Amino acid sequence: MRQPASDPNNIPEAKQSTTSSDSTLVPPLSSDYAPYPKLDPKDVAPPPENWTNVSMGSQSQPNQGPATFSGSAATTMPAESNPYVSPAPVRSSSVKTDKMGAVKEVLGKLGKKAAEDTKKAKEIAGNMWQHLKTGPSFADAAVGRIAQGTKVLAEGGYDKIFRTTFETAPEEQLLKTYACYLSTSAGPVMGVLYLSSQKLAFCSDNPLSYQVGAQTQWSYYKVAIPLHQLRAVNPSTSKANPAEKYIQIISVDNHEFWFMGFVHYDSAVKNLQRPLQPARSS
């Protein structure tokens, strides 16, 4: 179905009790509604030991998990309703030796950096592959990424898109953006995760359809969680396929969001956990 053109300055924002995610126009939930697709906890590995998570007290870790990477990305609005890095002179006889030593040192550093860059490039390439595989098709996901990049250029950058998409305070600053997917009961939703000085927010790249009576309407899928409402940011991986990596976001009122398909996964974990560090040290 051809989607109607959307005004980027008039994006309906979903409402939550303390945060916002779904459109208020989404039809009532059915009796068999489940907030997130059920996943056996054995299928998701616990966070690595070198990552520190916020203590959840006596509360047990939820048994719900993200949707798997297999299957199509969401094109319809999910049903869930949710509230939220001193020179010294040398003798001429030793100049040649010193220069050769300096050259060897520089080459050694360059070699080490090249090896590190190669490893990082391979990791990013692997993450990009997983990102594209999460979409309805590899080609569609690739085209979607290109389209999103074109949109960012046309609209003046992520900062401008962020401020026209979400309500922001004058002093609020956009810190990081990450292309990823949000796991929903309707399937993974491709979009951009924004980290600002005041909130964590997500908006789908494309509007999703939903039914109002006999009519099909469209709305962007949005989430906005104030940083003071964050309780935990938990990285995890699939035991069946370690290349599949997730980030679980939990709010203080126990609402969960599962993000996946990050191109820059390690950077996302590091920066998303940063707002929680003052709380950990206090």
State the pLDDT at residue 241. Answer: 83
> Can you point out the beta strands (E) in 62-207?
174-182, 189-196, 199-204
pTM over 0.75: no
Q: Pairing between strand 189-196 and 199-204?
A: antiparallel
User: Would 12 be classed as within a structural domain?
Assistant: no
- Cα separation of 75 and 241, whole Å? 25
User: Would 193 be classed as within a structural domain?
Assistant: yes
State the pLDDT at residue 187. Answer: 83
User: Would 6 be classed as within a structural domain?
Assistant: no
- Cα separation of 267 and 123, whole Å? 12
State the pLDDT at residue 26. Answer: 43
DSSP 8-state code for residue 20:
B
DSSP 132-148: HHTSSSHHHHHHHHHHH
- Cα separation of 154 and 50, whole Å? 40
State the pLDDT at residue 268. Answer: 94
Contacts 24+ apart (CB under 8 A), 29-34: 29/79, 29/80, 29/81, 30/79, 33/79, 33/80, 33/185, 34/80, 34/185
- Cα separation of 128 and 123, whole Å? 9
User: Would 256 be classed as within a structural domain?
Assistant: yes
79 three-state secondary structure:
coil
Using alpha carbons only, what angle is made at residue 275 by residues 273 and 280, rounded to the nearest 5 degrees?
A: 80
User: Would 184 be classed as within a structural domain?
Assistant: yes
State the pLDDT at residue 102. Answer: 56
User: Would 247 be classed as within a structural domain?
Assistant: yes
Domains: count for the chain: 1
Query: Which helix H or strand E contains 90, and what residues bound it?
Result: none
User: Would 248 be classed as within a structural domain?
Assistant: yes
What CATH number is associated with residue 261?
Answer: 2.30.29.30
> What backbone phi and psi angles, to 5 degrees, belong to 259?
-110, 145
256 three-state secondary structure:
strand
Expressed as residue numbers, the domain containing 135 is 41-54+62-84+92-281
Query: Which helix H or strand E contains 233, and what residues bound it?
Result: strand 230-238
Write the single-letter amino acid at 191: G
User: Would 33 be classed as within a structural domain?
Assistant: no
The tens-digit pLDDT sequence of the chain (282 residues) is: 455 555 545 544 444 444 444 444 444 444 443 444 444 445 555 544 444 343 333 343 444 566 554 455 566 666 666 766 223 333 444 444 454 555 456 555 555 655 555 555 555 555 444 444 455 555 555 555 555 556 665 566 888 889 988 999 999 999 999 989 898 888 888 899 999 999 999 998 888 887 788 888 888 899 999 999 999 999 998 888 888 899 999 999 999 999 998 888 999 999 999 999 865 554
